[in-house]
Amino acid sequence: MVELEKEQKTEQKVEQKETPTIYKNYGAPVLFIIIVPIILFYVLKKSTTVSQNIYPNWISLIVLVLFLLWGYGSLRLFPQNFDGPKNVDGSVPKYQGNGFLFWIASVIVVVCVCLKWKKVPEMVTTNFIPIIMTFNIFGLLFVGYLYFVGRKDYWGKEEDDKKEYSALFRFYRGLEFHPRIGGVDIKQLTNCRFGMIFWQVIIIIFAFFSYYSGGFNVAMWVTVVLQTIYIAKFFWWETGYFNTLDITLDRAGYYICWGCLVFLPAFYTFTCYYLANNPSIISGLMGCVILVLGCWFIWMNYKVDKEKEDFKANPDCKIWGKKAEFIAPFHHSVVKGAYPQNAGIKEEEGKKSSKLLVSGWWGKSRHMNYTYEIGLSGCWSAVGAPVGIAPFAYLGYIIALLVHRIYRDEDKCRVKYGKYWDEYCKKVPARLIPGIY
């Protein structure tokens, strides 16, 4: 009982923190809805040396329609047989589990198209800004539609009204966790089957453009190979992605949907875009070193994620050759309705048993997977060092994103695990780099 009271106090604290400020209600939405796109287009325009096209045109419209149909078809034409985790709103979303096949099919198609029609890479690269402009218009209309149809009745509306969240904030954050349109889950469509696959396809197109216009370029192909392995890994593990913050914590609104429809296609691809416009020359040896180091980071990032996955599946598993150690099995109360609605906690009545792993990488720092992810991004940016700091833009962004994500995740874990999370933090004080941060 005392335990429960303590937990409820923690929850009240979190609720207090959630009271909207002017920044939350208006500042953050304006920043991300107006300022970020302006900066994005400015940077894309400043970086191009191959085209002055900026306004939407037929090519950009065709690209949008093709990608939407390709992604939608991959979800709709096959039975959606994968049940996602039960969400805070009580829904159990249905997903499509064919991510890796979808990735293979997409890569084969784009490579064949680039080999057969040599003009396609040039047409797409020189119209990249119009393509992103078109995605932007579509993204805004799409998120506007989601807001319009959901605004009168959605899970947690009373709480939002009580907290006096502005309409702008609700548009920005989103209303529903798992809306569906045309029989498919919106977040799987926008995040995986549009944004992530566009990333893959466009960097291959940039690489062909660079090859057809200037011959084989080590820097371009090294970064494309590293990013391709990374994206392939994402699709291999796509069903695991449904357990992450993007899916369980973020509602389908401007932040995540516009982010995946526009920001991801425009910015995650930026290193390759920049190198397609401003070729970087590095030696074959340097290319090999960066490639090997980048592959090592990918492997380590995978190993950290895998340790947690194995441990969650079987807490008696071995890690680094020894029986996994964890903060003693404990029961924390999971009380229906008691958690702040945005904490991403699955609501269940009664008690729930959980364990926090302290062996292996999870005993070195609390987010060692992010550390390796940052190392990898450093590698795929480093190939562009001879042409300046612009190719490192994504690296700067990913550091900011992951550090912010650490705090979001820790807020969630503190609410969920209470004093056991504090115990874990005491045992493993580092967030990213052991002994430093």
Q: Min. distance of Cβ 363 from ligand NDP in angstroms?
A: 8
Q: Min. distance of Cβ 367 from ligand NDP in angstroms?
A: 5
Interface map 372-391 toward ligand NDP (x if CB under 6 A) = -x------------------
List the end-to-end C-alpha distance of the chain, in Å, as a whole number. 36
Q: Min. distance of Cβ 243 from ligand NDP in angstroms?
A: 7
**Of 258 and 424, CB closest to ligand NDP:** 424
153 contacts: CB under 8 Å, gap ≥ 6: none
Selected binder of ligand NDP within 301, 341, 359, 365 (CB under 6 A): 301
Nearest-10 crossing angle of helices 393-417, 368-382: 170
Residue 305 in contact with ligand NDP, rule: CB under 6 A? yes
Tell me which residues in 165-194 interact with ligand NDP (CB under 6 A): none
Report phi then psi at 232, rounded to 5.
-60, -40
3-state class of 335 per DSSP?
coil
Residue 352 in contact with ligand NDP, rule: CB under 6 A? no
Nearest-10 crossing angle of helices 218-236, 368-382: 150
**Of 94 and 367, CB closest to ligand NDP:** 367
Selected binder of ligand NDP within 357, 383, 390, 395 (CB under 6 A): 357
Q: Min. distance of Cβ 256 from ligand NDP in angstroms?
A: 11
Tell me which residues in 208-267 interact with ligand NDP (CB under 6 A): 244-245
Q: Min. distance of Cβ 159 from ligand NDP in angstroms?
A: 22
CB 359, CB 326: distance < 8 Å: yes
DSSP-derived secondary structure letter, 84: P
Residue 308 in contact with ligand NDP, rule: CB under 6 A? yes
DSSP structure string for 266-302: IIITHHHHHHHHS-----HHHHHHHHHHHHHHHHHHH
Characterize the bridge pairing of strands 184-185 and 180-181. Answer: antiparallel
**Of 252 and 413, CB closest to ligand NDP:** 413
Which amino acid makes up residue 396? G
**Of 141 and 245, CB closest to ligand NDP:** 245
Radius of gyration of the chain (CA): 22
Q: Min. distance of Cβ 325 from ligand NDP in angstroms?
A: 10
Interface map 407-436 toward ligand NDP (x if CB under 6 A) = --x--xx--x-------x------------
Selected binder of ligand NDP within 267, 362, 380, 394 (CB under 6 A): 362
Q: Min. distance of Cβ 207 from ligand NDP in angstroms?
A: 20
CB 326, CB 315: distance < 8 Å: yes
Pairwise CA distance, residues 140 & 39, whole Å: 17
* Residues making up the chain, counted from first to last: 437
Pairwise CA distance, residues 389 & 214, whole Å: 22
Which amino acid makes up residue 393? A
| Calculated CA dihedral for residues 156, 162, 167, 169, nearest 10 degrees | -80
Selected binder of ligand NDP within 94, 369, 379, 391 (CB under 6 A): 369
Give the residue ranges of DSSP H helices in 117-196.
119-126, 128-150, 157-162, 167-173, 186-187
Task: Output the six-digit token pair for 393.
Answer: 């833009």
Task: Output the six-digit token pair for 174.
Answer: 């989103």
**Of 217 and 248, CB closest to ligand NDP:** 248
Pairwise CA distance, residues 177 & 253, whole Å: 9
Selected binder of ligand NDP within 206, 221, 267, 370 (CB under 6 A): 370
Spacing of C-alpha 127 from chain mean position:
25
Binding segment (CB under 6 A) for ligand NDP, from list 120-128, 142-150, 331-339, 355-363: 355-363
**How big is the site for ligand NDP, counted in residues (CB under 6 A)?**
20
**Of 165 and 267, CB closest to ligand NDP:** 267
Q: Min. distance of Cβ 115 from ligand NDP in angstroms?
A: 29
Q: Min. distance of Cβ 416 from ligand NDP in angstroms?
A: 6
**Interface residue list for ligand NDP (CB under 6 A):** 244-245, 301, 305, 308, 356-357, 362, 367, 369-370, 373, 398, 401, 405, 409, 412-413, 416, 424
